[in-house]
Amino acid sequence: MSKSKILPTKLANARLIPWKKMTPLSTLKLERGSKAGVVLDKDGVPRLFIFDTFALLDVLSAIDEAIVDKLPHKDYYSRKSNPAGWLIDELETKLPLNPEYIDSLKAAIGEAEKRGWVPFEKIQAELSL
């Protein structure tokens, strides 16, 4: 397959610019460490948008947050009504867990056990809930 069939646009005289030069930070702010860019043609028209995984999640999250209060609960979790939220969930199932997050969960569980906190499951079982 030739490159012209793979790429959605011709890249002759194209240039790559950072996402933040294309979009004001207040509009769609990417989290620290997220990488994104825009390929402009010779006339300065955006032709390709390039996102790493976390930048794509940032953009999808901004869309998702904008509609969270506008959709009924059932529709919010619908792939048809909220494709951005659905795609976020799909991508997150394929990402490895952050080791720092795992360590913080282990520390929180250890702290809860040390303080004698009772798990909800035990309370439910004892109260027959």
Task: Give the pair of three-digit tokens for residue 111.
Answer: 């702290």
pTM beyond 0.75, yes or no: no
Rounded Cα distance between 22 and 101, Å, is 32
Q: What is the pLDDT of residues 18-61, one digit of tens each?
A: 888 887 766 778 888 899 999 998 888 898 999 999 999 999 99
Report how far apart, in Å, the C-alpha atoms of 16 and of each of 2, 3, 13, 58, 115 are.
Answer: 22, 18, 10, 20, 54
pLDDT of residue 116: 87
pLDDT of residue 85: 93
Report how far apart, in Å, the C-alpha atoms of 125 and of each of 7, 94, 107 are.
Answer: 58, 34, 25
Residue type, position 67, single letter: I
Q: What is the pLDDT of residues 79-109, one digit of tens each?
A: 999 999 999 999 999 999 889 889 999 999 8
Neighbours of 93 (CB within 10 A): 7
**Taking a C-beta distance cutoff of 8 angstroms, is the pair 61, 85 a contact?**
no
